[in-house]
Chain A
Amino acid sequence: MASSIQATDLDIYYGSFLAVHDVTMTIKPQTVTALIGPSGCGKSTFLRAMNRMHEVIPGARVEGKLELDGTDLYGPGIDPVTVRRQIGMVFQRPNPFPTMSIYENVAAGLRLNSTRIAKGDMDVLVERSLRAANLWEEVKDRLGKPGAGMSGGQQQRLCIARAIAVRPDVLLMDEPCSALDPISTLAIEDLINELKNEYTIVIVTHNMQQAARVSDVTGFFNIEGTGKPGKLVEMDETKRMFSQPREKATEDYVSGRFG
């Protein structure tokens, strides 16, 4: 189920602007990979390139290779829609569909694609997804209520449940806790630890303690100056990145000397 991702010499452009330059990285299955770095260094752009979400912005394109279990995601004949079905995403701000109930939000991935599925099977799927997102106990009595009425942390877990309901191979998280309070953040971090058993997770975070807490591998992105492309400076096991990084820039960043 969980898959690996391999990026080779990946350049990401917005129009003629080179946003991310020459990233080569391997993401192993069933690990949590954290991407850290200062604002504007391209880590979110890189994350969005992994499930072709950045293509939503006109003029965005990539050069180089990005493979999911050996399949080139940008190869000819690959539909971005199917890529996104395999590589799910959770966003910075919780974004449940306001017109749908909690149940419908979780079922949205299948319903919106008009996948035929029996009511009973759907019930099972919704419950399993909500349980996996540690939300079932809190919402099981009000599945028919709108998702927008929950707290921010619950909404974010609902979004995670919605993302894993379509059973992706990889789960991308773009600063999933930056809009949440510490307790909700803790709930999400615990959840990430559990989800690791089934999914490959890549998380972008501004919070270095969070990266240290949840991730197995950490990649540090940096930017030389405004208008310059972001680059992957160093990538290694999280423990090593935070104790004895090879690069001076990484050490400066993780020790709080800048950024």
Chain B
Amino acid sequence: MTTTAPRSAERAVDTPLTTVPRVGGVLPRWGTWAVLAAAAALVGGLLALVGFSISLFILATALLFGVAVYLWSRVIEGRRRAKDRLVTITVTGAFLLALAPLVSVVVTVLLKGLERFDPMFFTYSMSGILGPGGGAYHAIMGTLIITGLAAVMSIPIGLLAAIYLVEYGRGRLARAITFFVDVMTGIPSIVAGLFAVALFALFVGPGARLGIMGAIALSVLMVPVVVRATEEMLKIVPNELREASYALGVSKWRTIVKVVLPTAVAGIAAGITLAIARVIGETAPLLITVGLTTAVNLNPFAGRMATLPVFSYYSYASPGIPREAFVDRAWTAALVLIIIVLGLNLIARLIARVFAPKTR
């Protein structure tokens, strides 16, 4: 670097720019990839001498790569671009690091879950099955029924609470609701389960196991998420639209129902779907409220039900003989759960796209 950069900040400001600042050299396009390959080769070679380890290899390669690119760029391109390259490498590295567990989970569940991903799994319950075979029809239905019930209870409460907070709430009551919604967001899921158990111990006596109990536990977890999501969406509806509606002589309630909600519906629907996706995989509260059965029970108001998370947990934690048959079913149940959540996310995106305000 041989530019005649001014030494002090004052000169940098005072000196008029008489010549166009000289641009230093630029690393060749393949430069960073070449450095990466060289770093990997070097580290791989060195590790081969002392014994190979994949984690050490990745770590050392990344470090060497970053330092080498920085130094090379610093010599040729100057300090600012070298810093830019270093930060780019750091950010990309952090992203890959964050992605690694996700990819690992998906790949593992896919590989192990596909073992029993067959029609039988979706059509049979575990009734009378001791060893291989059987399926999780009862658990899939149980999960859908209980989560559906939870959604039916939570969505109106959450939606109306959010409308109150954004459109009507003033003063102490609104502040209290906001505070308790925040507190509820942080409730451990087992506490929600214990709440449902305690509640039903009062009404139907201790030791009850019902689908509706699980639904109530899940809705305790779901309501604050729905409130938060809806609140954020309602807040970003421009006030001008409300005023435009008021100025047409439209009452406040009609303005909310016919102008504010339709404008925000895409975001609200997406938020609700994500809230459902969040509670559908809950295990702990369902374990203590709904329990598990081997037979199909579609009535959430009578007796135990099976759910996918609990089914998966018990199949893995206390398998029968042969063990593999149970473990395989556990993985497949997990896979089905992931597919349901993925499906919900896709639905949320679809809803958001369909309802989003259009400009053309």
The residues of A with any CB-CB pair to B shorter than 8 Å are: 51, 53, 56, 58, 81-86, 88-89, 91, 93, 95-99, 108-109, 111-114, 145-146, 148-149, 159, 162-163, 166
Contact = CB atoms under 8 A, between A and B. Distances in A.
Contacts, number: 86
B359 A112 contact: no
B254 A113 contact: yes
Contacts of A146: 357-360
Given A148-B357, A149-B359, A97 B244 contact: yes
Contacts of B19: none
Given A95-B243, A112-B248, A112-B250, 18 more contacts: A53-B247, A56-B242, A82-B249, A86-B249, A91-B240, A95-B240, A98-B241, A99-B259, A109-B248, A109-B249, A109-B250, A113-B248, A113-B250, A145-B360, A146-B360, A149-B358, A166-B248, A166-B249
A98 B249 contact: no
A162 B170 CA distance: 31
B283 interface: no
A160 to B, nearest CB: 12
Contact of A148 (B246, B248, B358): B358
Contacts of B242: 56
A49 to B, nearest CB: 13
B251 interface: yes
14 contacts: A53-B243, A81-B246, A81-B249, A82-B249, A83-B249, A84-B248, A86-B249, A96-B244, A98-B263, A109-B248, A111-B258, A112-B255, A113-B248, A148-B357
Most buried by A among B241, B245, B249, B250: B249
Contacts of A148: 357-359
Interface in B27-78: none
Given A56-B246, A97-B259, A81 B251 contact: yes
A97 B247 CA distance: 13
A114 B53 CA distance: 72
B319 interface: no
A88 B360 CA distance: 28
B238 interface: yes
Nearest to A98: B357
Interface in B226-272: 238, 240-251, 254-255, 258-259, 262-263
Given A91-B240, A97-B259, A84 B246 contact: yes
A113 B359 contact: no
A-B CB proximity, top 6 nearest:
A85-B249, A98-B357, A89-B247, A109-B248, A95-B240, A84-B249
Contacts of B262: 99
